[in-house]
Amino acid sequence: MSDEPKRKITFAEQQKHDNDLKVARLQLNIFRQLHAIDTPLADLNADWRALDNDVVDALNELPGGAKLYQHIRNMQEGKTASDKIDEDLLAFGREVFTDQNKFKRYTKTDDQIEKEKQAEEAKSKSADPLPTFEKKAETDDSQYADIYAAIRSYSNTTKGLLEFKEKAARFGDNWRSEIDTILALRETDDAGELIDTFNNLKTYDTAVSLWNEAAGILENPTAPGIAAIQAKIKEYKTYLPMFGASGHELLEKLKELK
C-alpha cells in the first residue's frame, strides 16, 4: 500500500474556509445571545437553516459551536420544529433566561406549556394562603424603594453589579434570598419585571464570582485550587462563555490544569 501525498489546499480554498469561519463565528455569537435578543426564534432558525453547508461544518471548529451545528442538523432532518430548539442544545441553561415564558416558547410544545400551566395553577390552589397573607401584612413596601430603583437601573456590567451590591449590603450575606422574598411579596404591575431583572443580576453575579475565582487560581495554581476547579468545571462551562471570547479562553486554560 503506497502513501499518497496529501493535496495542498489552494489559496482560494483557504480564503473560502477563513470566510466560512467568520460567518460561523458571527452566527455562533448570535446563538449565544438567544436568551437576550428579541428576534423571533423562527426567523433565526430560518437563517441558520439557509447557511452554506461549509459554514455549518465550520461551527465544529469553534468552541461551543457543536450545539448550534447539531441544532441546524436537527432542523434539516425534521427532528426540530422551525420555531423550537432542544433545551439540551441551548448555549446556556434555563437560568440565563430572564423571561421564562420565552424559554418555554422556545423549548416546549403548546401542549407541554399548557400542562405546566395547569400544574402550577393546581399547586397554587392547594397551597395554604394564610402564611403568605400574614407575611405580606408585615411587609412595609416603601422601605425598599431604593432596592427597586437599583434593580430598575441595573445593567450587566461590573460597575452596575457593584453599585447594586452597595445598595444590597444592608441585607448582609443573605442578600439574594432576602431580596427574592421582598420581590415575591410585591403586589404591583412591575413585580414580574423586577423579578426577571433580579434573576438576570444573580446569574451575572455568579458568572463574575466564578471568573474571579478561576483567574485567582490560574495566577497561583495549587493542588487544592486545581481540585476546586475540577469539582466545579460544569459551572465554569455554563457561566464563563457569557463573557464571550475571553470567557472561552479562560475556560480552555482551566481545562489544561492538572
* Distance from C-alpha of 66 to C-alpha of 194, rounded to nearest angstrom: 34
Instruction: Examine the pLDDT at 135 and tell me if it is beyond 80.
Output: no
Predicted local confidence at residue 133, as pLDDT = 41
The larger pLDDT score, comparing residue 152 to residue 109, is at 152
Amino acid at 208: V
Torsion of CA 169, 173, 177, 182, to 10 degrees: -30
Contacts 24+ apart (CB under 8 A), 75-84: 75/45, 75/48, 75/49, 76/49, 82/42, 82/45, 82/46, 82/49, 83/40, 83/41, 83/42, 83/45, 84/41, 84/108, 84/109
Number of Cβ within a 10 Å radius of residue 127:
10
- Average pLDDT of the chain? 83
User: Residue 4's pLDDT is what?
Assistant: 60
Residue 129: predicted pLDDT: 53
Going by pLDDT thresholds of 50, 70 and 90, the confidence category of residue 49 is very high
More confident: 72 or 231? 72
Q: Check pLDDT > 50 for residue 241.
A: yes
**For the segment 167-214, what is each residue's pLDDT rounded down to a tens digit?**
898 888 889 888 988 888 877 788 888 888 898 898 888 888 888 888
Q: Comparing 11-15, 122-126, 222-226, which segment has the lowest mean pLDDT?
A: 122-126
CA proximity to 99, closest of 193, 33, 4, 29: 193
